């Protein structure tokens, strides 16, 4: 089945520029519960979150806030069948992904506003679809670099 108009192209990823009505860059954590505090990076979950995307049963949905702004969303599966279906849904929505690595376990969609990465653990069947903001990417990389430096000082 061919995707309907507006599907099957990375432009749809840009048009959404977030997840389930939350736009990247938003600063509201209303209705969210702190899951992990990593300093400038805080991870949240949503009570009563619909843990389904079409036929896919999700293990968890995690909202990533960097310096108080929504940076990305992680959709996690714990079953090979659900992981493969999630990949098919993403491909149907955004088109054919680019591949990274020889085993094809990391697939990417790169838009002008947003990007997505699908990772798959072939041994355990777990999958992750991470959707994030391009505008906030450098700030995230700076956060990671500083965190690594700070961690190295502890050794």
Tell me the pLDDT tens digit for each residue of 11-31: 999 999 999 999 999 999 999
Alpha-carbon gap, residue 29 to 67, rounded angstroms: 12
Mean pLDDT for 3-8 is 70
What phi and psi values does residue 68 have, to the nearest 5 degrees?
80, 5
40 in any annotated domain: yes
In a domain, 16, yes or no: yes
What pairs with residue 66 in β-bridges?
A: 41, 69
> Per DSSP, what are the bridge partners of residue 32?
46
Residue 29, in any domain of the structure: yes
pLDDT at residue 99 in the model: 85
What domain range is 79 assigned to?
11-153
Is residue 4 included in any domain, yes or no?
Answer: no
Render pLDDT for 70-117 as a digit per residue (tens, 0 to 9): 999 999 999 999 999 999 999 999 999 998 766 667 899 999 999 999
Q: Is residue 2 part of a domain?
A: no
Percent of the chain with pLDDT over 70: 94
Give mean pLDDT, residues 32-46.
Answer: 96
Please report the pLDDT score of residue 138 as a whole number.
92
Residue 77 lies in a domain: yes
Helix (H) / strand (E) containing 61: strand 60-66
- The closest alpha carbon to 92, from 15, 1, 3, belongs to 3
- Counting the structural domains of the chain, the total is 1
Contact assessment for residue 47 and residue 29, using Cβ atoms and an 8 Å cutoff: no
% of the chain exceeding 90 in pLDDT: 85
CATH label of the domain that carries residue 29: 3.40.1000
Q: Is residue 63 part of a domain?
A: yes
Is 6 among the domain residues? no
Tell me the average pLDDT of the chain.
92
Collapsing DSSP states into helix, strand and coil, what is residue 19? strand
């Amino acid at each position: 089945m061919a995707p309907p108009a507006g599907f099957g192209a990375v432009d749809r990823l840009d048009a959404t520029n977030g997840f389930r009505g939350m736009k990247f860059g938003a600063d509201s954590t209303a209705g969210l519960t702190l899951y992990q505090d990593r300093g400038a990076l805080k991870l949240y979950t949503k009570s009563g979150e619909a843990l389904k995307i079409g036929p896919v049963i999700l293990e968890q949905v995690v909202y990533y806030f960097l310096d108080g702004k929504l940076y990305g969303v992680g959709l996690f599966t714990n079953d090979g069948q659900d992981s493969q279906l999630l990949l098919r849904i993403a491909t149907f929505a955004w088109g054919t992904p680019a591949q990274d690595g020889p085993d094809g376990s990391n697939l990417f969609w790169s838009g002008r506003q947003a990007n997505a990465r699908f990772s798959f653990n072939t041994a355990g069947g777990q999958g992750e679809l991470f959707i994030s903001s391009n505008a906030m990417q450098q700030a995230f990389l700076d956060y990671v670099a500083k965190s690594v430096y700070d961690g190295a000082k502890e050794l």
